[in-house]
Each structure stands twice: as C-alpha cells, then as structure tokens.
C-alpha cells in the first residue's frame, strides 16, 4: 500500500488527503493550527465570518468533485429582492447597472484576451478606457489586487467573465466555508486518513512522498528554496455587524477603484444574531497604502450604500491579507510559469500560488489532484479536470 504525507490541512491538503485515500493510499496529514481549514476557516462565535468575502464558484472543477461526494452541504440562496440590491459605484454615485462600455467586454462574442499584454491596454482597445477601467475594478472581487488593469489581459478576462456570469457562479455554503471543510475532514476520517492538528512540520519527512499543501511562503521556508515566489494581492479586510435596516445594499462593487462589500446575511441569516447583518469587505491596497487608507475607502462605500451604518454598528474587525489571496499573473505569464508541483525527490507542492489552472481556491484544488497523481506514480495520467482546463 502507498503511504503519503500531507503537510497542511487547508482546502488543498484535505483535497489531497481525500484523493490519495480514495486511491487506496495510507495518508497522514499534519496541520500546524489547532483546527483544519487554513484560509477557508470560518470564525466561531456569534459572527460566522470567513477570512474576508468568500464565494464558492460553481464553474470550477472543485464544484463537481465536492458535489459528487456530497461535501458542499446546504447552500444559502439569495432571495430575488436581495439580489436586486447589488450596487455599483461609478463616477462617485451608486447605480444598478454597469456602464455600457463595460458590457462590451462581457459579451460572449468578446475576443479572447492575449497573455502578453496588460488588461487595461487590451480592454481599452475593445471598449474605451472608461469601460476598461470599470471592468478591471469589477474583476477585483476575484483578484484582490490594487491594479487589476496592469495584470495579464487573459488572466483578468477569465476572472471578469467568471465573476460577472449570469446566473451567478458565486455560491455560499450555509454557515460559511467551515461546513465544507468539516465535511471534507469527515470524509478523510472515514477513509482512514490520520489527521494530526497542532503539528507544525519543520523538516520534510523522507520515508514517504510528501505533498506540501501550505501557503507558498511557508513552502519556501520548509523547502529552503528562495525561488518559490509568485505575485499575489494585498487587501484591507473589514468585517462589520450592523443592526438591520430595510434597504441596505446586498453588494457594493466599486468601479472607480478596486473594492467590494457584501452583506452576507442577505443570503444566510445564520451568520449573525437575529436583528443584525454581517457585512464583509475587501479593498485592495497599493504598496504605498496603509490599512487605514483601505478602511477609509471601505467607509466611503458604506456611507453610500448603508444609510446610518455608523450608528448601527454592533461589532467590527479589520485586518490586512497580504499574499493570502492566491496567485496573480503579470503580462507574459500564465499559471504554467508559477512554481511547479513536482519538486523532485518525492516532494510535491499544492496551493493557490503554484502551477495549476483555476480561480482562487480552484488552483489549490487542481494542484492537489496533480500532486497526488504524481506522488502515487500515475505520471502518465493527468487528472481529468486538468485535461479540460
Ligand atoms: C480575503 C480572502 C478572500 C478569499 N476569497 C475567496 C473566494 O471568494 N473564493 C475562493 O475560491 N477562494 C477565495 N480565497 C482563497 C482561498 O481561501 C484559498 O485559495 C484557499 O483557502 C487556500 O487553501 P490552501 O489549502 O491552499 O492553503 P491554506 O488555507 O493556507 O492552508 C495551508 C495550511 O497549512 C498549514 N501549515 C502551514 N505551514 C505548516 C507547517 N509547517 N506544518 C504544518 N502545517 C502547516 C496552515 O496552518 C494552513 O492550515 C480567499 C482568500 C482570502 C485570504
């Protein structure tokens, strides 16, 4: 029987553990934290926050895999009245519909954007500068980057299409992502996976193949390999609970600058106590900007879309997520140029900044599948989902 070690019990580590155990391997997972889930954890307590605004996109390969195994659990659905409360800030004012020029970039018939050119240059040729900027800022919901227009046009176009698709791809596991993580952990447990929490690994084991399913930063330290880097975003996070008031927005997407606020209790009442609403937002920060700058921009959006919110606040928390929001690809690069999964000597990387396709956590998922199939010696066989990508 194959034995395999997985370091990290987040979405990538649990995907790897389940996949390897299903293939008959004897799996041990080591997780440094006292709970599993990594960045897909949901906070305990009265306010069930994910780490920043999180949505599970149903167009990704992880969706079918999770669904097949009944690991998604109940989903929160958005009542139509709430869905109609999506707002866009454009030229300083709130509106319900995107500028016409931005729609040009969302047409199914829109041309495939090139890898080698930045999004703003390419999109300006297609739709004019105003539409291009609005589209780039809208795509920031899945990019977490302060200057989406400067990234590879092909990379941004894929995220723009996925984030703007109708019906929406964004889905919300009821009670937060922890429900999916708990189900994945239960599946792993039932397959006989050994899961050791509070177990930080400082030295790579040499007696089994190893899937290093940590952040790329942690993998760089663990493997002692300074070349394991790839750009990511830096974004200010704001979590806010306010007393309920009719007429609050559901989503505010900033088209004047990158930024996104979402009232998660619009679709899932279980996330905050009765009579309160939970809002989570992210405002990408330029290198010279501070958390306070991002929070000030979030407050401007709140002022526009949540009347009297300051007097209604019952709980508030702020943070900065730096390098924690997945890979971004600069012009001239694609996911194939990121640090490779196979590191040699039986060591494989999985995570959201390594060489695998997909949006955000889908990269963790796809790389985990590849890592396991390589670790189990199925070199000739690419995972089905990767073949399609
Ligand atoms: C603000 C924010 C918003 C996001 N929004 C979305 C979204 O809407 N949709 C989406 O799909 N994705 C989203 N993501 C991305 C998603 O959360 C991540 O891609 C995914 O959770 C990464 O999973 P992972 O297992 O690769 O890494 P992690 O979750 O970082 O897991 C790595 C684990 O390894 C452990 N570890 C590290 N070092 C060691 C060690 N030496 N020994 C043992 N254990 C170790 C850590 O404790 C951690 O539990 C968002 C992320 C952030 C931060």
Task: Indicate whether residue 324 lines ligand 1 (CB < 6 A).
Answer: yes
List Cα–Cα distances, 41 to 93, 205, 249, in angstroms: 35, 26, 26
Q: Nearest Cα to 291, choosing from 261, 326, 319?
A: 319
Instruction: Indicate whether 320 and 346 sit together in one domain.
Output: no
Instruction: Indicate whether 182 and 132 sit together in one domain.
Output: no
Instruction: Indicate whether 345 and 370 sit together in one domain.
Output: yes
Instruction: Indicate whether 54 and 108 sit together in one domain.
Output: no
Q: Nearest Cα to 184, choosing from 73, 340, 106, 50?
A: 73
Task: Indicate whether residue 148 lines ligand 1 (CB < 6 A).
Answer: no
Task: Indicate whether residue 173 lines ligand 1 (CB < 6 A).
Answer: no
Ligand 1: which of 36, 39, 51, 197 to mutate, judged by most atoms within 8 Å of the beta carbon? 39
Instruction: Indicate whether 236 and 226 sit together in one domain.
Output: no
Domain hosting 345: range is 3-67+175-230+332-388
Say if 155 falls within a structural domain: yes
How many angstroms separate the CA atoms of 241 and 276, rounded?
6
How many angstroms separate the CA atoms of 13 and 31, rounded?
9
Give every CB contact of residue 340 below 8 A, 6+ residues apart in sequence: 349, 354, 355
How many angstroms separate the CA atoms of 389 and 387, rounded?
6
Instruction: Indicate whether 255 and 283 sit together in one domain.
Output: yes
Mean pLDDT of residues grouped by 10 in the chain (389 residues)? 94 98 98 98 97 96 97 96 97 96 89 96 97 98 98 98 96 97 98 98 96 98 97 98 97 98 98 98 98 98 98 98 98 98 97 98 98 82 43
- pLDDT in the model for residue 111: 87
Say if 82 falls within a structural domain: no
How many angstroms separate the CA atoms of 325 and 7, rounded?
20
Tokens of 340: 């490779």
Instruction: Indicate whether 211 and 351 sit together in one domain.
Output: yes
pTM score of the predicted model? 0.96
Q: Pick the residue whose CA is nearest to atom 20 on ligand 1.
A: 361
Instruction: Indicate whether 245 and 323 sit together in one domain.
Output: yes
Q: Pick the residue whose CA is nearest to atom 32 on ligand 1.
A: 214
How many angstroms separate the CA atoms of 327 and 376, rounded?
26
Element spanning 170, H or E: strand 170-173
Instruction: Indicate whether 63 and 128 sit together in one domain.
Output: no
Task: Indicate whether residue 99 lines ligand 1 (CB < 6 A).
Answer: no
CATH of the domain at 181: 3.50.50.60
Say if 75 falls within a structural domain: no
Cα(12) to ligand 1 centroid in Å equals 8
If 0-12 CB within 10 Å is exposed, 13-18 middle and 19+ buried, where does residue 141 land? Answer: buried
Q: Pick the residue whose CA is nearest to atom 36 on ligand 1.
A: 8
Q: Determine the length of the chain.
A: 389
Say if 73 falls within a structural domain: no
Instruction: Indicate whether 345 and 258 sit together in one domain.
Output: no
CATH of the domain at 242: 3.90.660.50
Quick one: which atom of ligand 1 is closest to the CA of 363? 19
Ligand 1: which of 361, 363, 365 to mutate, judged by most atoms within 8 Å of the beta carbon? 361
Instruction: Give me the number of domains the chain comprises.
Output: 3
């Amino acid at each position: 029987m194959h034995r395999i070690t997985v370091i990290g019990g987040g979405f990538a580590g649990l995907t790897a553990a389940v996949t390897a155990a299903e293939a008959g391997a004897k799996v041990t997972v080591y997780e440094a934290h006292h709970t599993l889930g990594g960045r897909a954890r949901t906070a305990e307590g009265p306010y069930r926050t994910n780490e920043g605004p999180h949505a599970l996109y149903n167009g990704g390969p992880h969706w079918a895999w999770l669904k097949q195994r009944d690991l998604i659990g109940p989903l929160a659905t958005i009542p139509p009245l709430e869905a109609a409360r999506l707002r866009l800030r454009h030229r300083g004012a709130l509106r319900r519909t995107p500028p016409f020029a931005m729609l040009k970039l969302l047409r199914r018939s829109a041309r495939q954007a090139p890898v080698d050119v930045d999004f703003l240059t390419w999109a300006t040729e297609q739709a004019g500068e105003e539409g291009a900027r609005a589209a780039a800022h809208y795509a920031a919901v899945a990019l977490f980057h302060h200057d989406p227009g400067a990234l590879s046009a092909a990379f941004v176009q894929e995220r723009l299409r996925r984030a703007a698709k109708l019906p929406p791809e964004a889905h919300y596991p009821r009670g937060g992502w922890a429900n999916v993580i708990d189900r994945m952990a239960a599946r792993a447990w039932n397959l006989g996976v050994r899961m050791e929490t509070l177990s930080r690994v400082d030295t790579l084991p040499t007696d089994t193949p190893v899937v290093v399913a940590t952040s790329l930063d942690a993998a760089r330290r663990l493997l002692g390999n300074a070349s394991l880097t790839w750009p990511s975003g830096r974004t200010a996070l704001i979590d806010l609970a306010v007393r309920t008031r009719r007429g609050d927005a559901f989503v505010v997407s900033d088209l004047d600058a990158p930024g996104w606020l979402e009232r998660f209790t619009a679709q899932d009442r279980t996330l905050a106590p009765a009579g309160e609403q939970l809002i989570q937002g992210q405002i990408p920060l330029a290198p010279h900007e501070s958390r306070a700058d991002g929070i000030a921009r979030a407050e401007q959006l709140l002022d526009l879309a949540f009347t009297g919110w300051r007097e209604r606040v019952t709980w508030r928390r702020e943070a900065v997520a730096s390098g924690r929001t997945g890979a971004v690809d600069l012009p001239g690069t694609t996911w194939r140029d990121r640090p490779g999964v196979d590191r040699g000597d039986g060591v494989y990387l999985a995570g959201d900044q390594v060489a695998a396709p997909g949006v955000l956590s889908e990269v963790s998922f796809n790389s985990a599948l590849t890592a396991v199939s390589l670790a189990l010696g199925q070199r000739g066989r690419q995972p089905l989902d990767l073949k399609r990508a």
